[in-house]
Each structure stands twice: as C-alpha cells, then as structure tokens.
Amino acid sequence: MSEPAGMETERIVVEEEKEAVALIQQREQETTPTENATTCLPRSPVKSKTLTKQIRILLTPVSATCGEHNKHLPQKRLLEQFSSCEESFGKEPKAKKICSDYSSPETRAISHGVSEVVSNTDSHRCGSVVEAVSSDLETDGDSESDRNDEEVSTQLSAYERKRLKNITENAKFFASLKLFESAASLRNMTARVQSPKIQRIKHSKAKTETTCRRSMRLQKVDPLSIPLPEAQAQPEPSVDEYPRLPPGPLQMIPIDQEEGNDVTEGFLNMWAKISQVEPKVIETPTCNLESYQAHLHKMVLREDCVAKVVRNRIHSVAIHPSESRTLVAAGDKWGQIGLWDLDSGLEDGVHTFVPHSQPVSCMYFSLSNPAHLLSVSHDGTLRRGDVTRAVFDEVYRNEEDNLSSFDFLAADASTLIVGTWDGEVAVVDQRTPGVSAELFVELNSKKTRTIHTNPLSRHYFVAAGAGDVAIYDVRHLKASGSKPVVSLAGHTKSVASAYFSPVTGNRVLTTCADDTLRIFETTCISSSVPVLTTIRHNNYTGRWLTRFRAIWDPKRDDCFVVGSMSRPRQIEAFHATGDLVHSFLSEVYLGSVCSINAWHPTRYILAGGNSSGRLHVFKE
C-alpha cells in the first residue's frame, strides 16, 4: 500500500537534509585553515569587535499536489530553523544590523550579493525549506565567532558555500578597482568652469508673411492640372478705370486685332450668313420624358468644346439659333462680349469685343433677326450688335440707373422691356430714333434683377426683385406707380431670377437665395398663384461666383437646368415635378461651377459659363 503524498514528501525532505549535513561534515574535515580563511568575508577597517551577520533565505514554491493535512509542515520547519538561527546570531534583527554596519564600498558590494533572495523550484519537492546563513564581515579571531560560523556553515549546502565564495571574490575584485574613487575624480575633472558672460547682440527676427491658400484659378492652373502660361500680374480693375464709353455706335473690332483683319472679316461674314436663315418656330414637344432623357445622355463635353472667351467672370450667355453652326456669346464682369464659333477651332474661333464698361448682365440674339445681338450693362446702356454693319449701336441710355435685364415685348423684337437695379422698368422702341425710353415707371419693388415676358401673352411680364416676385401688365403701367397683377409669395430671401415656361407660359420658375427652387402655376393669372413644386437646392454661391439662374429648356415646358455646387462639378437638369432628370458632368473637362447657362432653342446644345471666363459646351 502506497504512502500518502504528504508523508512521502516529508521523508524525501528529511533524507535530503541528512545527506546535506553529512556532505558538509565531510567537507569540514577535509578543509584546511587556509580554505576556511578564504571563505570568510574581508575584515572591515574598523577595529571594533562588532559582529555583523546576514541571513540568506532560499524559498522553494509549494506544489499544489501536497495534501491538505500536511500543508503546515513546511511553515513549522521554517519557524524552527529560524529560531535556531536566532539563538546563534543573537536576538537583534538581522536586516537592520546588516544595513547599519556597512561602512565601506567593499562591504556594501558583498552584502548586496549575500543578502539577495534565491528562488529554486523543484517539481519533485513539496513544501518550503528555509535556510539561515550567517557570515562575519568583521572578525578578530575570537573562538566564539568561529564556533558560530561553524554552526552556521553546517546548514549550508556545497552549492551555497561555493556561490558564497564566488560572491566574496568578486566583491574583492571590484573593490580593488576603486570604481567609487575613480568616479569621484572624474566628476571633479568634468566640473564645468563657468566662463565669463559675454553680452550677445540679439537680432530681431524677420517677420514672415503668412501665405493664404489660393485656388487653381489664382494659381493660373487649368482644372486639368496643366500649368497655364504665366501672365503679368494685373490688379483688379475698378469702376473708375472703366468709365462709361462715349455715346453713339462703336465699331465691331475685336480686342488685340486691327481693323480689316482677314480673320475678323471672315467671322463677321459667317455670322451674317447663318443669320439669313429664318429661325425655326418652337413647337410643343412631342417626345416623351424617356426619349428626352436619352438625348440628354448623348450630350457630352469634349476637349475642343472648352475655351476661355472673356477675361473675367461671366454674367450672361446666349446661343445663336442657327441649325448649321454653333455660335455662343458670353458677357463678362467688365463689359467684354466674347463670341465663339465652335466649328472654326479654338485659335480662329474666339473673338472678343468691348461694347460696355461694366458687367454685361443680360444678352439675347434677336428673335426675328439673329444678326442682331442685344445686351444691357450696369453702365446704363442697351446696345445692339449689328453684324451687317459691324457696329454696336446704342439703343437706350440711362445716365442715372444701372440696367439689370431686358426682354422682347413684341415677337419681331421691335419693342423691349428693360429693368433697372433700382426697381424701375423702361419700355424702349428700337424704331424710334434716339436713346430715350417710351415709358419709364417705378415698380412696387426695391430691385429688379430679371425681366421676362410671357411667350404667348407678351403684355404680361414677371419681375424678380430683392425678395418679391410679381407679374405685371405692361398695358397698365403708370409713371406715378404701378401695382402688380399678382404676386408670387413664399420667398424668404432675395430672388435671383424668374422665368415663364418657354412654350405655353403656364409656369414660372424662380431661383431664391433661401436654397429653394419654386415652380408656380400661371395658367390663369388671377389674384393668387399656387406653388406647384418646391425643390431644395444649394444656391449659396458666395461673392466670387455669379448667382445661379434656373432656366427652362426652350424645347420643353416641363424641364429646366441650373448650376450646382456639388462635386464633381456639374449642371443639373430637373423635371417640373422636382425629379432630377440628368446631370451634365465631365471629370476630365469640367472642374468649375457653371453659374450661368443657356440652351440652344432647337438643338440639344447647352453652354455653361464659369467665373474665370470659360465656356463649356455640351453637344449631342
């Protein structure tokens, strides 16, 4: 029958202890006095008979396999052996005595090695063995001390005695090196001698100017990341630098070109030739929305359909109604009008004229004679470019107010309705000699941004102002003041534009700064006009972009386009119900916001102008 685990462990421990004691006794018999001297610790320079002792504790972890009834045996043996050490060493606490008697680097090094705790794990043992070791750091050969050393040494194993000897020899070696004295001498040698203070002259730091981020337009970089040729820095022109041009007709001579240039004459002859064809009458569209969307998807933007036609920001765009050639006109911030013949290439196709001195806010080709290009400007003039005579005639001039918009009252374009920024309108007849108006009245509005007439009932026109939109009847205008026929309510901020639908005039589309596009029902113009559709749209363009103006497609009465602040840059086409029909975009050739757009009256051609004077033409 096998013994219990606890009893077997106790027997193994007792046998090991007996073997250790026998081995130590054998070593003591063989050891000479010289060997005993080597095992002693070096004598302290202090001549007192103070005896310093150290306790060395060897801990062996207790295995988890020990029985519960024997779990207190190792602790009991530890206390008994520790009591024997107390009797041999005295009652003074050992740790305190060791720390108090270290008076030299040598003894401190020895004590550091001797007093460390060694853990020895043996998987075959169960319990804890505590061994107390004492050694003399200072001795005077007293016989009582030798007897104490012998008693203590009997409790050391051969391995521990050898290890103690090695620690003692190493301590002696490090003490002979005199490291502490060398370190002290080095610290004295490296002590920095303070040099006399020298008065240094502090130079003021140069002020660095903070650089601001610049757009690609200001860096003269094309949206395609192609560096543009460096141009001489020119300050932004002011109104004083561009005074009003003299009254009367101006010669149709492009800038940077001389009169009689072959290229210019060829361009003017082409314009006159394509204008002789009678324009196609706009009829009610017969194709459904799906077929219309298919046409829009075929319209793409090519590399040769992007060009810079004017120098500054574009404020107005118009497309010639020709069916054979594509001719697009754009008016910029400082009175330039650029005409671009897309079929002649980029080098010979762009011709820029200067008929005004301030922003060209509105521009149309004549309905009855496309050889005439009419434009109004903030400089207070309405001019008609006549390609047949190669001049810009002055049709109307207002010295006090800036002109904002105009439209044709008659189908033959003989009479016009012109609006000013101060909320006034003028009725102008082109057949009357002179530059005065037939009628000049004040509307019930602070400003008049756009003027647009009903395509069927042209005596009705809609005026968009600083926060109100109203429909007026030109037959009831009075110089003392005119009241609108109906007001289109619901706008909370200023309105940028308002246009009748191009075929029937049964709807009015408005673009408001409250980020909303609204469509009103104007089939029956009465005291109230309901809102058909409200579309949320980001119309916040800021001060550096021309304000958006949503415009109808002249081929349809239910679809329109508007610029977009979304990325990638695009032009959005919506249905009258508010659904997005198509987005005109090109990640390669369209990298800017096209605020002002214009449709070809009969073909699927859309032109968009940005704030750097560039035109982007989408063609089927």
CA distance 599 to 607: 7
Q: Count CB neighbours of 172 within 10 A.
A: 14
Q: What is the pTM of this model?
A: 0.63
Q: What is the pLDDT of residue 446?
A: 84
Residue 240 has pLDDT above 70, yes or no: no
**565, two tokens:** 């602040």
Looking at domain 250-289+317-556, which of 2.130.10.10, 3.40.920.10, 3.30.70.1070, 1.20.1560.10 is its CATH number? 2.130.10.10
Contact indicator for 411, 459 with CB cutoff of 8 Å: no
Quote the longest CA-to-CA distance of the chain: 147
**Strand 415-420's sheet: what is its strand order?**
403-408, 415-420, 424-429, 439-442
Task: For residue 534, list its beta bridge partners.
Answer: 518
Half-sphere exposure of 292 (CA within 13 A, CB side): 20
Q: What is the pLDDT of residue 209?
A: 58
Residue 324 region, left (φ>0) first, then alpha (ψ -120 to 50), else beta? alpha
Q: What is the pLDDT of residue 499?
A: 98
Cis peptide before 237 (omega within 30 of 0): no
Residue 407 has pLDDT above 50, yes or no: yes
**Strand residues in 151-259 grouped as ranges (E):** 250-251
48 pLDDT band, cuts 50/70/90, is: very low
120 pLDDT band, cuts 50/70/90, is: very low
Interior angle at CA 319, CA 273 and CA 506, nearest 5: 125
- Give me the chain's average pLDDT, please: 78
Whether the CA torsion 421, 422, 427, 428 is positive or negative: it is: negative
Contact indicator for 335, 354 with CB cutoff of 8 Å: yes
Residue 109 region, left (φ>0) first, then alpha (ψ -120 to 50), else beta? alpha
Q: What is the pLDDT of residue 206?
A: 60
Q: What is the pLDDT of residue 43?
A: 43
Q: What distances in angstroms separate CA 52 from CA 95, 109, 111, 275, 338, one per listed residue? A: 10, 15, 10, 123, 109
Q: What is the pLDDT of residue 50?
A: 40
Give the strand pairing for 118-119 and 58-59.
parallel
Q: What percent of the chain has pLDDT over 90?
A: 53
Domain boundaries, the chain: 5-177, 250-289+317-556
Q: Residues 482-508: what's their mean pLDDT?
A: 95
Q: What is the pLDDT of residue 11?
A: 62
Residue 2 has pLDDT above 60, yes or no: no
Among 89-93, 288-292, 592-596, name the one with the lowest average pLDDT.
89-93
Q: What distances in angstroms separate CA 110 from CA 38, 47, 115, one per listed residue? A: 14, 19, 8
Q: For 275-293, write each residue's pLDDT tens digit.
A: 987 656 555 555 799 999 9
Q: What is the pLDDT of residue 346?
A: 73
Q: What is the pLDDT of residue 152?
A: 56
CA distance 313 to 450: 19
Q: Which residues have a Cβ under 8 Å from the Cβ of 132 and sit 6 or more positions away?
A: 55, 56, 57, 81, 82, 84, 85, 89, 152, 155
Q: What percent of the chain has pLDDT over 70?
A: 66
Q: For 522-560, write each residue's pLDDT tens digit.
A: 998 887 899 999 999 999 999 999 999 999 999 999 999
Q: What is the pLDDT of residue 105?
A: 45
CA distance 429 to 416: 6
Q: For 373-383, write each residue's pLDDT tens digit.
A: 999 999 999 99
Contact indicator for 609, 590 with CB cutoff of 8 Å: no
Contact indicator for 53, 136 with CB cutoff of 8 Å: yes
Residue 134 has pLDDT above 50, yes or no: no
Closest CA to 597 of 557, 527, 543, 548: 548
> Tokens 């490296």 map to which residue?
190
Q: What is the pLDDT of residue 513?
A: 95
Q: For 313-371, write each residue's pLDDT tens digit.
A: 999 999 999 999 999 999 999 999 999 999 987 777 999 999 999 999 999 999 899 99
Q: What is the pLDDT of residue 19?
A: 73
**84, two tokens:** 């024997």
Q: Residues 599-617: what's their mean pLDDT?
A: 97
Q: What is the pLDDT of residue 226?
A: 59
